[in-house]
Amino acid sequence: MRATFRFFLIASLCSFLLPGCHYGHRKTAEEKRPHDLQQIKDSGELVILTLYSSTSYFIYRGQDMGFQYELSEQFAKSLGVKLRVEVGKSVHELIEKLQAGEGDLIAYNLPITREWKDSLTYCGEEVITHQVIVQRRGGRKIKPLKDVTELVGKDVYVKPGKYYTRMVNLNKELGGGIHIHQVDNDSTSVEDLITQVAQGKISYAVADNDVAKLNTTYYPNLDIKLSVSFDQRASWAVRSDCPELARVATLWHKENMTSPAYTSSMKRYFEISKAIPHSPVLSLREGKISHFDKLFKKYAKKIHWDWRLLASLAYTESNFDTTAVSWAGAKGLMQLMPSTAHAMGIPSGREQSPEESIKAAIKYIAITDKSFTKVPETERLKFVLAAYNSGIGHIQDAQALARKYGKNEYIWNNNVEKFILLKSHEEYFTDPVCKNGYFRGIETYNFVREIIERYDYYKKKIKK
């Protein structure tokens, strides 16, 4: 009797005083309640789960971007709630987080499979994904392949996993003859292989069609029409106990696909060219670089820059076009993002004023410079230029990686620049030392080198 009472007393104390000590714990009605549409509206927040990638979600110049991110933002706006992003490291982790209640919706092209149909409800737009051959086009010598049988005798470069497996199976279906090169080193991603095709270093690579399509906006000489796999259906997903959220998401996608916002996002990532056409120096004979040389000379002094360096930056950013608007929404001569332009004092509607743009850029450069005070002055310029292109966070990530892997975090060439390149690789951008996720580092890598090289050219041709 006394023992029974003691057991009851201990169990009661555990349940009231120690939340972590449960005896036969049962979920309350509140814990069982699904976080469906009404609960989301009541909370005022939609939490999406996604992965870092060039097509889903990434941070660029301090701004959240990505096709899936923008669609999620539009969907949240239609519900009258704010959006919060939680990033996973893999598809399986996204599903685990969803089931654990850490998010409301997986905003990612999740493959539709039998394995997950019982625990998930697929919703939103159902897209068809497949693998394609990435090859060059143009010119008489280069004729794109139009049939998979033409791959026999060709060298095809693939990453391990589904790409390698598919090419091995296709090779068997064709009776052999495809020269399959499995690129298993971590320093080369699928997008790196695509770049190598565009540059003529390799002839053929394999990629998912959405990633391949995005890369055609960087490299217009690519052909991605030849499919080499079966179609795979994919879409967003919610927990199976959230039918109303699934229904509304599907309806919204159906109605939203013709909206200006959806069309704008689609064009931003998959249609608008990311390359800026460049013209030569204005007039070497007259010693002019641009029509804005007086402004460059006036404001470069404020940050102790050579005006020709500032001119080189402007040329790379906008080709001296004051009306330029980038794919990401950066505007004006110095291509500042809207939020940055506003923070640096450019009045609304004056983003295309050359003087306002230069003044704001000078302020931003001065602030950026202060973020790298530990970097020696002889090296700091490269860090500032890199951060101007990518945002400070990605450069700090690259520094952290350099430190981790035994490189000098205060030297750019052959040190930090190597890790900004690796920021597009899953092994590196998911490393705990990285705080800003995926980034297409090749653009920043080239950006710094091009500006420095052009500045050296300007110094030789144009008097100070």
The pLDDT tens digits for 241-299 are 999 999 999 999 999 999 999 999 999 999 999 877 766 666 666 788 999 999 999 99
Residue 15, SS3 per DSSP: helix
Do 429 and 349 have their domain in common? yes
Helix, strand, coil percentages in the chain from 3-state DSSP, rounded to 5: 50, 15, 35
The count of domains in the chain is 3
Do 265 and 354 have their domain in common? no
* pTM, full prediction: 0.85
| Structural domain includes residue 445 | yes
| Structural domain includes residue 98 | yes
**Angstrom distance (rounded) from CA 170 to CA 180:** 11
317 is catalytic: yes
Do 345 and 416 have their domain in common? yes
Please tell me the predicted confidence (pLDDT) of residue 172.
97
**162-184 tens-digit pLDDT:** 999 999 999 999 999 999 999 99
Do 259 and 114 have their domain in common? yes
- Region of 329 please: left (phi>0), alpha (psi -120 to 50) or beta: left
Please tell me the predicted confidence (pLDDT) of residue 286.
75
| Structural domain includes residue 221 | yes
**Angstrom distance (rounded) from CA 86 to CA 1:** 53
Please tell me the predicted confidence (pLDDT) of residue 145.
95
Do 222 and 348 have their domain in common? no
**Containing structural domain, residue 357:** 293-461
Please tell me the predicted confidence (pLDDT) of residue 283.
61
- CATH value at residue 328: 1.10.530.10
| Structural domain includes residue 277 | no
Query: Are the CB atoms for 223 and 136 separated by under 8 Å?
Result: yes
**Angstrom distance (rounded) from CA 313 to CA 461:** 17
What the block records as the tokens of 12 is 């009661």
Please tell me the predicted confidence (pLDDT) of residue 279.
67
Do 188 and 243 have their domain in common? no
**Angstrom distance (rounded) from CA 377 to CA 394:** 20
Residue among 73, 317, 351, 356 flagged as catalytic: 317
Please tell me the predicted confidence (pLDDT) of residue 185.
84
Where is the domain boundary, 230, 255, 285?
230
Please tell me the predicted confidence (pLDDT) of residue 344.
97
Please tell me the predicted confidence (pLDDT) of residue 140.
65
Q: pLDDT under 50 in the chain at which residues?
A: 1-33
Please tell me the predicted confidence (pLDDT) of residue 461.
87
- Among 35, 36, 66, 73, smallest CA distance to 51 is for 66
Please tell me the predicted confidence (pLDDT) of residue 63.
93
Do 220 and 243 have their domain in common? no
Where is the domain boundary, 230, 258, 284?
230
| Structural domain includes residue 301 | yes
Please tell me the predicted confidence (pLDDT) of residue 11.
38
Q: What is the CA radius of gyration of the chain?
A: 26
Do 153 and 212 have their domain in common? yes
Residue 441, SS3 per DSSP: helix
Please tell me the predicted confidence (pLDDT) of residue 156.
98
**Angstrom distance (rounded) from CA 394 to CA 386:** 9
| Structural domain includes residue 288 | no
**Angstrom distance (rounded) from CA 460 to CA 178:** 51
- Among 150, 8, 56, smallest CA distance to 438 is for 56
